[in-house]
Amino acid sequence: MIEQRNICRKCILPDGFLGVNLNSEGMCDFCSDPDHKNINWSRREISNERRQEALANWNSVVEEMQQNHGKVPYDCILGYSGGKDSTALLDHLVNDLGLNPLAVTSDTGFMTTIAKDNMKDTLAQINVDQVLIEECIPTFTKIYKYHFFNHNSNEIFLARYICDFCSDLIHSIVVKEAIRREIPNVLFGYSPDQIFRYFYEMPQEEVIKEWKPEILESPFFDDSDSRWYLTDEEIENGNLPRVLLPYHVIPYREQDIIELVESKNYIKKGHADPLLTNCNVVHAATFYDFNRYGGILYAYQYAELVRQNPESRRKWLRTLKMSAPLILENTFKQREVNDFLEQIGVSQEEMLEHIKEQLEKDPKRRQIETNINMFRKKRRNKKPIAVPQ
């Protein structure tokens, strides 16, 4: 059994987990203070008033799109990934609202076969046009490579960085397509729990200021990379589309979404599981993070679920105990992780060596190694890392 005294007695976060400490009563910062925030995680609550306002706005946007329907080539652009949420949103736009969206997909180079199959099956049944952008793949690869080799934070998970930089690039590419075609609304199918950065609308100010990363100025990148981000000219022309996240305001139940996409044969049974469509980059970043920080970004999310439903604590502890050694030793998504590492040109051993160098410079090294050992020790036939006394 996992040593319980190392783990928050209310949720599942271990003592010393990135930015988290247990107090004398064995409770973590997040459990002892509901308003606690750190750079990796903060709980965000949206007031009912704000939600209603956003819903009213969405309804007016829909009305406007319906009024213009037929007068423009496309009513809106949908960022389409082949996952269950963007697939269900596509169905909603076309079959419930009678709209004609343009589905825009930017290939990161790490799209899973399942996501590609999903798109084929869906577009065979929903008659919309799709733009598949593949020329951006080298830029995605460079962004990943840059972060895996240059991540040197003692405070922020690699997965947090990677997901933010990668989604900013995806958003940029889709928005540029909208600018080029003068389409005023861009939609993404983010689910209601994905509100860490945005609720309902990505504010234009952030679209302009935050999406283009400073790392582009590094000699590692060139013009062939910056062309995927908004140019000064595009920004100055002021014709930026609105970027909206309808599932933050319209009804959303994960189970209903899965049933919908499976019953309409858009996605094969069992293939709507988010773990399957999750990209391999995330799996690789998770492998990195666990070995580097003794924890993973998702643990914050699971811990929040436990706080909301204390009865689920045992289930999540068991999940943690089972999956932690697999992630640490890269046997959870081994093939996916290794494929990814190969594509960015590094072996698993080299990556572990790189992680070790980073870990050695971390002032919290001892606590991190204690946590890693706590999870690793449970596996038989594996030697625990020696913790200096």
Give residues in contact with Zn ion (CB under 5 A).
8, 10-11, 28, 31
Strand-pair partners of 132: 105
User: Residue written as tokens 């976060």?
Assistant: 13
Q: Give dist(CA 304, CA 13) in Å, integer.
A: 10
The three-class DSSP label of residue 78 is strand
Residue 108, exposed/middle/buried by CB under 10 A (0-12, 13-18, 19+)? buried
Of 28 and 327, nearer to Zn ion (C-beta) is 28
Of 269 and 314, nearer to Zn ion (C-beta) is 314
Of 113 and 308, nearer to Zn ion (C-beta) is 308
Q: How far is the CB of 26 from Zn ion (least distance, A)?
A: 9
Q: How far is the CB of 37 from Zn ion (least distance, A)?
A: 14
Of 11 and 62, nearer to Zn ion (C-beta) is 11
Q: What residue type is 252 in one-letter code?
A: Y
Other C-beta atoms closer than 10 Å to the C-beta of 60 total 10
Of 11 and 285, nearer to Zn ion (C-beta) is 11
Q: How far is the CB of 374 from Zn ion (least distance, A)?
A: 16
Tokens describing residue 344 = 């960015």
Q: Give dist(CA 157, CA 238) in Å, integer.
A: 35
Of 258 and 296, nearer to Zn ion (C-beta) is 296
Measured on CA atoms in the order 28, 30, 31, 33, is the torsion positive or negative?
positive
Q: How far is the CB of 12 from Zn ion (least distance, A)?
A: 7
Q: How far is the CB of 23 from Zn ion (least distance, A)?
A: 10
Of 28 and 207, nearer to Zn ion (C-beta) is 28
Phi then psi dihedrals of residue 22, to 5 deg: -90, 140
Measured on CA atoms in the order 169, 171, 174, 177, is the torsion positive or negative?
negative
Residue 246, exposed/middle/buried by CB under 10 A (0-12, 13-18, 19+)? buried
Q: Give dist(CA 248, CA 268) in Å, integer.
A: 26
Other C-beta atoms closer than 10 Å to the C-beta of 39 total 12
Q: How far is the CB of 312 from Zn ion (least distance, A)?
A: 13
Q: Give dist(CA 233, CA 176) in Å, integer.
A: 12
Q: How far is the CB of 254 from Zn ion (least distance, A)?
A: 24
Of 221 and 298, nearer to Zn ion (C-beta) is 298
- 241 near 186, Cβ under 8 Å? yes
Calculate the CA dihedral of residues 123, 192, 137, 109 and round it to 10 degrees: -70
Of 174 and 374, nearer to Zn ion (C-beta) is 374
Strand-pair partners of 78: 103, 187
Q: How far is the CB of 369 from Zn ion (least distance, A)?
A: 21
Q: What residue type is 156 in one-letter code?
A: I
Q: How far is the CB of 35 from Zn ion (least distance, A)?
A: 14
